[in-house]
């Protein structure tokens, strides 16, 4: 599994590392550009997410038609051009255009689809967790590197680095990523967005993903501006806030992932993270001390990193096999849209309100989010069975579905029936006997 997943995760991580590098500092740098206003700064911070939301599903659909690798190449080239435009921008509107173009290279859904192509369903949750962890590591690394590099060489250097990372990702795509097999799956049900929204656990995960991503751009609008404007920090000192946040966030990520995945307690991790978000925004909004403000920053990034490795994995666990692509695509589109809303809203309210009002308001919203998340259930534990299609009586299989079987599908290319069932209810041998044509 690792040889298949790591190159794909690396490609996605390189693109996210490029996006994340500028987040800790972009608001304070953008505020100094010609034509800048707090609202336009918020647009710059979250602008990439709007085009990510728009292009996730179209690029995913395009990859079904022309292939995964050509679509990934297209997305990375768009991302590369957008990064170069940002690097050479001297006014707020050019920077905004570059950020929108960066987001248009929306390869997340394509990478997710490619992972689904090459990884068996029963270990796909682990594959998504690896992908989520790699993104979280990119995020943590960017928090430490972005402020230091930009403080010494300017923010343009970050965009040149981002363009270089896109080149590395393209090289990796054609040297380490195999062309996935074309496997046709036949499902006895069709995926509808309405069905996904009717599933309370999937709806909860969409909200969790959206809120987490919205809060990150709110934080990245506020943190550098507050530290430089309210507390008098220099831009090259911002690393002193982000470095401890990065280290402690990394330290918290591993235990959270183990507790959530191995011990099957993701709900508890999500609830704890939301409580940390609430405390972080109250501290950042109300404190008069820069040291206490940094404590709030650290709390925020611990909460974010605890959540990140689990979000995608839980969506794949709650979705039925024929819903996974639509569920992930819907969730990511909503999350990217909320990322844009978070950044633009923070910029807007920063121009018309004060830090305390913003901090308390976000904390109240997060408290409502906490109450909503109480409805989430931890996923059930399933086993998987693969049988030759010719040996299975499909009528018997459909009869048992609502009793012990969560879902099933046919891999037509390999003539295999894949069945997902409750392992505590019956064994694989018992299930095989119940659905066999000879029984």
Q: Would you say the C-alpha torsion 147, 148, 149, 153 has a positive or negative sign?
A: positive
Residue-level pLDDT at 122? 59
Residue-level pLDDT at 124? 64
Q: How many CB atoms lie within 10 A of CB 292?
A: 12
DSSP 3-state of 91: strand
91: β partners:
34
Q: How many CB atoms lie within 10 A of CB 438?
A: 6
**Dist. CA 316–CA 354, nearest whole Å:** 40
Residue-level pLDDT at 167? 95
Residue-level pLDDT at 185? 54
Nearest in space to 141 (alpha carbons), one of 224, 256, 24 = 24
**Dist. CA 250–CA 312, nearest whole Å:** 18
Tokens of 187: 């499902």
| Prediction pTM value | 0.82
**Dist. CA 223–CA 284, nearest whole Å:** 8
> Which residue, chain included where needed, has tokens 């666990």?
317
Convert 134-150 to b/e letters by CB count within 10 Å (16 or more is b).
bbbbbbbbbbbbbbbbb
**Dist. CA 307–CA 305, nearest whole Å:** 5
Nearest in space to 22 (alpha carbons), one of 96, 115, 78, 131 = 96
What does the DSSP 8-state code read for residue 226? I
Tokens of 206: 């969409």
Residue-level pLDDT at 16? 86
Distances (CA, A) of 12 to 131, 143, 149, 377: 8, 17, 22, 29
Taking the C-alpha atoms of 41, 45, 50 and 56 in order, what is their torsion angle to the nearest 10 degrees? Answer: 160
**Dist. CA 373–CA 367, nearest whole Å:** 10
Residue-level pLDDT at 171? 94
Per-residue pLDDT of the chain (439 residues; tens, 9 = 90+): 667 778 888 888 888 888 889 989 999 999 999 999 999 999 999 988 899 888 887 887 788 778 888 989 999 999 999 999 999 999 999 999 999 999 998 888 788 777 767 776 556 667 766 777 787 788 878 888 898 899 889 899 999 999 999 999 999 998 988 776 555 555 666 656 667 778 888 999 999 999 999 999 999 999 999 999 999 999 889 989 998 998 898 889 889 988 888 888 999 999 999 999 999 999 999 999 999 999 999 999 999 989 987 887 788 788 776 677 678 778 888 998 999 999 999 999 988 899 999 999 999 999 999 999 999 998 877 788 888 888 888 888 777 766 677 777 787 767 888 888 877 777 788 888 888 887 5
Residue-level pLDDT at 274? 98
**Dist. CA 146–CA 246, nearest whole Å:** 11
| Domains assigned to the chain | 2-373 (1.20.1250.20), 382-435 (no CATH)
Q: At what angle do helices 68-88 and 108-118 cross, to 10 degrees?
A: 150
Q: What share of the chain is helix, strand, coil (3-state, %, to 5)?
A: 75, 5, 20
Nearest in space to 206 (alpha carbons), one of 50, 328, 322, 112 = 328
**Burial class for 266, CB neighbours closer than 10 Å (0-12, 13-18, 19+):** buried
């Amino acid at each position: 599994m690792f040889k298949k997943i790591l190159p794909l995760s690396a490609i996605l991580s390189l693109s996210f590392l490029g996006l994340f590098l500028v987040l800790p500092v972009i608001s304070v740098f953008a505020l100094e550009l010609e034509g800048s206003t707090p609202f336009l700064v918020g647009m710059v911070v979250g602008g990439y997410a709007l085009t990510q939301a728009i292009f996730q599903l179209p690029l995913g659909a395009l990859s079904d038609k022309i292939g995964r690798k050509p679509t990934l190449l297209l997305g990375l080239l768009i991302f590369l051009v957008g990064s170069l435009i940002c690097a050479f921008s001297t006014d707020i509107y050019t920077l905004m255009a570059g950020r929108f173009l960066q987001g248009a290279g929306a390869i997340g859904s394509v990478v997710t689809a490619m992972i689904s192509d090459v990884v068996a369903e029963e270990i796909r949750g682990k594959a998504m967790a690896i992908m989520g962890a790699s993104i979280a590591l990119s995020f943590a690394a960017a928090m430490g590197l972005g402020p230091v590099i930009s403080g010494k060489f300017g923010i343009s250097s970050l965009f040149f680095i981002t363009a270089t990372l896109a080149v590395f990702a393209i090289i990796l795509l054609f040297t380490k990523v195999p062309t996935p097999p074309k496997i046709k799956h036949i499902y006895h049900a069709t995926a509808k967005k309405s069905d996904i929204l009717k599933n309370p656990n999937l709806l909860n995960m969409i909200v969790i993903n959206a809120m987490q991503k919205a809060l990150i751009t709110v934080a990245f609008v506020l943190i550098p501006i507050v530290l430089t404007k309210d507390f008098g920090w220099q831009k090259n000192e911002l690393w002193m806030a982000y470095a401890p946040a990065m280290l402690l966030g990394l330290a918290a990520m591993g235990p959270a992932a183990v507790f959530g995945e191995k011990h099957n307690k993701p709900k508890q991790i999500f609830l704890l993270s939301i409580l940390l978000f609430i405390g972080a925004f109250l501290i950042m909004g109300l404190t008069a001390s820069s040291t206490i403000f940094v404590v709030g920053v650290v709390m925020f990034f611990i909460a974010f990193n605890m959540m990140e490795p689990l979000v995608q994995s839980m969506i794949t666990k709650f979705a039925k096999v024929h819903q996974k692509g639509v569920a992930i695509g819907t969730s990511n589109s909503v999350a990217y849209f909320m990322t844009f809303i978070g950044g633009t809203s923070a910029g807007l309210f920063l121009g018309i309100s004060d830090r305390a009002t913003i901090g308390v308001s976000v904390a109240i919203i997060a408290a409502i989010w906490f109450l909503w998340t109480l409805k989430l259930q931890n996923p059930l534990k399933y086993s998987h069975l693969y049988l030759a299609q010719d040996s299975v009586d499909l009528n018997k299989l459909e009869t048992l579905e609502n009793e012990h079987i969560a879902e099933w599908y046919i891999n037509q290319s390999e003539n295999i029936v894949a069945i997902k069932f409750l392992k505590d209810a019956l064994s694989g041998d018992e299930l095989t006997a119940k659905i066999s044509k000879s029984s």
